[in-house]
Structure 1
Amino acid sequence: MSLQVFLLPDLGEGLVEAELVTWLVNVGDTVHVDQPIAEVETAKSVVEVPSPFEGTVATLHGAEGDTLEVGKPLISVAAPADATTDATTDATAAVEAAVPAAAMTPASPAPAGAQAASGSGNVLIGYGTSGHGGPGRTRPGRRQHLTGQLEAPVAGPGRAHLVISPLVRKMAHDHGLSLAEIPGSGVDGLILRRDVEAALAPAPAGAVSSTGTAPAGAVSSTEGGDAVDPRTGLHVVARTPLTGVKKAAATALTRSRREIPEATVWVDVDATALVELRRDLKAKDGSAPSLLAFVARFVTAGLERFPQLNAQLVSAGGTDSLVDFDGINLGFAAQTDRGLVVPVLRRAQGRSARALDAAIRALTGTARDGKAGPAELSGGTFTINNYGVFGVDGSAAIINYPEAAMLGIGRITDKPWVVEGELCVRKVTELTLAFDHRVCDGAVAAGFLRFIADAMENPAAVLADL
């Protein structure tokens, strides 16, 4: 049977790597074309990767928690006996030559010095058949323990390090440990949980790695042997590397602060009329757009009047240029279990508040489920950040690079307000606009923000013209 090697595909939007979250198949499973074989987390989202081949899984190139590069082997599939070899690319032959034949069979021992094709230095060994009667999603709890089928690894640098438990791999990954540096105390050198815990234990004072230098991220030790941060003097509980969405967000926020000279304007708004409008619509029709959807409609109308805030400043070849767009791609900051993301509603201009409400709900739901792809999480021209849902009034927001502005909405709360010379209690919120001062001046930013505020204070008049 010929071997077909599937390379991690181009994930779009310039993404060059992805973290392997979960294998959905095991060595020995039968897979079909378009069957999901793995979940990977990119800088944008968590996505399922389907198989382009049909056959039997021969090799899984990497362990859960590994970071794989686009274009590197993800999985090798042995084609059925009657299949042609045309589907195998020229790169497959090179990969086959680099991967020992023994590694293609799950029951075969790993030869000395063998490494995973992903470049991680770890060979994924010990995954049996799924045990559920056929291909499909296979979670770690269903994998069979094949320790008895493995021969002892050859000791020394570059040996194949054995890890069966996904928990052990995750534990090492979360603490930034390399499995290649952890000796296994289990049968045939199997790395167990106690081995990772031992590696996490603080080293004696003055200890160095086998290379003669202090390990990366090393901390000092007290006389009692506890790990202590040398700067703060506090005990270190854990070190968690930034990966995936959180790493991408950190990079974008840092770049925004470094490159964009931002300014901020804000205004308190009496949103009582808008709240009452929504209440009346809900009482009449049984449903009504969210307050965020109404604000989004006002924003698209405001950007049509002040298009500078929908532009972007682009630097290329030593020249700075202002780029104007013929549409509005509206982003909405959303907090998810994997961190802050900004799903983007493309071509939001001209949509009604009801249409915006439906689209926003669907898009943010997809993002919170981790199913939004690069197309849904990129390409924005303006962002709305509704931080009021967290119970705060205002925020000095960081612009979503490379956009020119971000509108922040604080919580709506009862406050004293003067109406026609009389003091009364009103529904008040604070709007904040952070803008790139290279793109527009304060008059444009203030004009846009005042337009949104006036629309919220007198929504019926504005909506009549939209």
Structure 2
Amino acid sequence: MTVKTFLLPDLGEGLTEAELVRWMVAAGDNVAVDQPIAEVETAKSLVEIPCPFEGVVSTLHGEAGQMMLVDEPFISVNTGGEEASTTPEAPSERAQSYREEELAGTQAPSEDTEGDSEADEGSGNVLIGYGTGSAQRKTSRRRKPRTAVGGARAAVQEPSEAVRVINPLVRKLARENSLDINSVKGSGPQGLILRSDVEAALAGSNTDTSMSAPVTETAAQSEAPAASARPEQVAAMGEADSRTGLPVASSQVLSGVRKTIANAMSTSRREIPEATVWVDVDVTKLLKLRSKIKEADGRAPSVMALISRFAVAGLQRFPELNSRIDTEANGALRHTLFEGVNLGFAAQTDRGLVVPNVRDAHKLNAQELSAEFARLATVAREGKASVADLSGSTFTINNYGVFNVDGSAAIINYPEAAILGIGRIIEKPWVVNGRLKVRSVCELTLSFDHRVCDGGTAAGFLRYVADAMTDPKRALATL
């Protein structure tokens, strides 16, 4: 009997833990290659973990609600297909981390190495779709070919240099888009291929990454230690709170997306000296223009997409607001301005507020921005947004008008320099050319990092966007 254990992978190039939401299999179930086996919630999104091999589930190394650590055992599967060895197994080694696995097989064996030496045996560990890279471990029987991703049988290969990739999900992203991973130039240490390298090679295609995972082969271990304890409750339901004396309805440690949101908000308030400016805007002409576009084309960009187009144009005129400030090791402050805009937008989901971002938003027209907003909002609410979808923005828009409120001094999406808020559109009495009329009005607010610019720059940007919304035909003619 052969039991293989694979570890929870780094699901986002640096994330160290994930909350196990639910198992999709149970001990004793048959599983196939790439079959989803669990859902986990990282600090970025909810993702499914696929099984890297087929067999019968032996051990689930955790339970729902538990925080699982990267590079710790996740699931063990009895792959079967081989008779048990008649010689006692040596004590099994702890499953290796992904980076240890990635290095396995990158060294070709020496030509003068003889049969029973350690060098000839190789590592015995196989990454998804890999051979060991050194001679196969010698046994008293013929080994069956290993199963590669997709169920195909991988032939025993000659020793060769393995392509080093930071994460199996990056390798799978390339494969699903028919990209030869060997053709990608890695920008990481010693040529390590990063997710950004694959995305760049895909020429900006919008692709959600799928999860894969490093695998290791160990002897059966029915009682592996759990990755971490379930978040402890401060007080059980119904018990009295020591501070207020009131019964406790619920109490638990923040984790996953909620923990990330809390930390981000605290960091923003702590690190950024922000100020806020606001203005009421007559958007009557903007709404009429949108209606005419819809009549002519059968579809029209959303109001937020039109405002976003004006905002992106405004950032090109006031680039200080499309920037960030970083604190270096020696305490110095570095101000970085960007060419181009990655436009983030706040999206409310069942797991909390997340900020998907439209990359290279400055290259898109209002219709294209509207389509991207709709697509990214959908994948975010379904918990399928990739780490790349939820990071890397340089400026954020928050449409809190959908909650039927007029205004809000939004917290800046750290480490950005500003966030633009859009309030609800309501009819108000408005003076036009000396006469009182009923107009459609909304409030714009801009919270900005006072270190990157003074109030004049922030007011200039906000006034530009407001004027464009008031007279959209004129503004669009100059974009």
Output the TM-score relative to the length of structure 2: 0.70
Question: For the Cα contact (< 8 Å) 2:17–2:42, is it kept in 1?
Answer: yes
Contact 1:411 1:430 in 2 (8 A): yes
> How far off is 1:79 after superposition?
2.4
Residue 247 (str. 1) matches residue 259 (str. 2)? yes
Q: Which residue of 1 aligns with 2:270?
A: 258
How far is the alpha carbon of 1:61 from its aligned partner?
0.6
Partner residue, 1:40: 40
Q: Distance in 1 between matches of 2:215 and 2:445?
A: 54
Q: Structure 1 residues 85, 27: closer, same or farther in 2, change over 3 A?
A: farther
Identify the residue that residue 373 of structure 2 maps to in structure 1: 360
Q: Secondary structure at the match of 1:277?
A: helix
Match of 2:308 among 270, 285, 296: 296
Q: CA deviation at 1:115?
A: 5.6
Q: CA deviation at 1:461?
A: 0.6
Name 1:12's counterpart in structure 2. 12
2:468 pairs with 1:439: no
3-state DSSP of counterpart to 1:227: coil
CA contact (8 A) 1:394 1:410 kept: yes
Does structure 2 conserve the Cα–Cα contact (< 8 Å) formed by 1:47 and 1:371?
Answer: yes
- Separation in 2, partners of 1:441, 1:32: 59
Specify the alignment match of 1:333 in structure 2.
346
Inter-CA distance 388–346: structure 2 relative to 1 (3 Å threshold) = same
Contiguous gaps of at least 5 residues in structure 1: 104-113, 121-172, 178-215, 220-225
Q: Distance in 2 between matches of 1:18 and 1:374?
A: 13
Q: Tell me by how many angstroms 1:351 deviates.
A: 0.8
4+ residue stretches of structure 1 with deviation over 6 A? 88-93
Q: 2:431 is matched with which residue: 418, 434, 437?
A: 418
Match of 1:232 in 2: 244
CA deviations on 1:372-409 (whole Å, 9 max, x unpaired) are: 12111111100000000101000011001111000000
Letter paired with 1:16: T
Question: In structure 2, how many angstroms separate the alpha carbons of the residues matched to 1:447 and 1:13?
Answer: 38
Distance across 2 between alignment mates of 1:7 and 1:454:
55
Shift of 1:86: 4.3
1:60-112, Cα deviation, whole Å (9 max, x unpaired): 1101111001111111122242599542799988x957x74xx2xxxxxxxxx
> Gaps (5+ residues) in structure 2?
84-122, 133-213
Contact kept in structure 2, 1:17 and 1:70, CA below 8 Å: yes
Other-structure match for 1:161: none
Equivalent pair of 2:343/2:361 in contact (CA under 8 Å) = yes
- 8 Å CA contact 2:42–2:256 kept in 1: the answer is yes
Rounded Cα–Cα distance in structure 2 between residues aligned with 1:313 and 1:61: 42
Report the Cα distance in structure 2 between the residues aligned to 1:392 and 1:119, rounded to whole angstroms. 42
Corresponding residue to 2:227 among 110, 113, 118: 118
Distance 2:63 2:125 in 1: 29
Kindly indicate whether the alpha-carbon contact (under 8 Å) linking 1:8 and 1:72 is maintained by their aligned counterparts in 2. yes
2:291 paired residue among 279, 296, 310: 279
Distance 1:277 1:117, change over 3 A: same
Which amino acid is the alignment partner of residue 295 of structure 2? A
Instruction: Confirm or deny that 1:453 pairs with 2:466.
Output: yes
Q: Is the CA contact 2:67–2:228 (under 8 Å) kept in the aligned structure 1?
A: no
Query: Is 1:3 the counterpart of 2:112 in the alignment?
Result: no
Measured in 2, the distance between the counterparts of 1:115 and 1:79 equals: 18
CA RMSD of aligned residues (A): 2.3
1:227–1:24 CA distance, 2 compared to 1 (3 A): closer
Moved more, 275-284 or 82-91: 82-91
Cα pair distance change 1:444/1:88, threshold 3 Å: closer
Cα distance in 2, alignment partners of residues 429 and 405 from structure 1 = 19
Give CA-to-partner distance per residue, 1:330-370, whole Å, 9 cap, x none: 01101111111111111111211001111110011110111
In the TM superposition, what is the alpha-carbon distance from 1:52 to its structure 2 partner? 1.9
Aligned to 1:57: 57
Match of 1:87 among 126, 143, 147: 126
Q: Is the 8 A contact 1:300 1:350 kept in 2?
A: no
Give the conservation status (yes or no) of the 8 Å contact 2:235–2:241: no
Q: Contact 2:52/2:215 (CA < 8 Å) preserved in 1?
A: no
Stretch deviating more after TM superposition (3-12 or 381-390): 3-12
Q: 80-89 vs 449-458, which deviates more? A: 80-89
Aligned sequence identity (%): 57
Q: Deviations over 1:303-353 (max 9, x none)?
A: 111111111001121221011222211011011111111111111112110
Contact 1:228/1:236, CA 8 A, preserved across alignment: yes
Aligned position for 1:148:
none
Name the amino acid aligned to 2:363: G
Q: Distance in 2 between matches of 1:52 and 1:431?
A: 50
Partner secondary structure for residue 379 of structure 1 = coil
Q: How many residues align?
A: 355
Question: Cα gap change, 1:13/1:449 in structure 2, threshold over 3 Å: closer, same or farther?
Answer: farther
Structure 1 contact 4–88 (Cα < 8 Å) conserved: no
Q: How many Å separate the matches in 1 of 2:254 and 2:414?
A: 19
1:54–1:80 contact (8 Å) kept in structure 2: no
1:41–1:92 CA distance, 2 compared to 1 (3 A): closer
Q: Deviations over 1:18-64 (max 9, x none)?
A: 00011112222222222211110001110011122222221111011
Relative to structure 1, is the Cα distance of residues 85 and 57 closer, same or farther in structure 2, using a 3 angstrom cutoff? Answer: farther
Hey, what does 2:392 align to over in structure 1?
Answer: 379
CA distance in 2, matches of 1:92, 1:306: 50
Q: Distance in 2 between matches of 1:369 and 1:431?
A: 29
1:340-351 counterparts in 2 under 5 A?
340-351=353-364
Seen in structure 2, the aligned counterparts of structure 1 residues 227 and 59 have a Cα distance that, compared at 3 Å, is closer
1:32–1:425 Cα change, 3 Å: same
Does the C-alpha gap of structure 1 residues 92 and 358 become closer, same or farther in structure 2, counting only changes over 3 Å? closer
CA distance in 2, matches of 1:37, 1:289: 39
Task: Indicate yes or no: 2:91 matched with 1:78.
Answer: no
The letter for the 1-side match of 2:423 is G
CA distance in 1, matches of 2:444, 2:215: 56
Q: Distance in 1 between matches of 2:420 and 2:215?
A: 50
Instruction: Please say if residues 330 and 344 of structure 1, whose CA atoms lie closer than 8 Å, have aligned partners that are also in contact.
Output: yes
Contact 1:256–1:398 (8 Å) recurs in 2: yes
SS at match of 1:299: helix
Whole-Å Cα distance in 2 between the matches of residues 417 and 92 of structure 1?
66
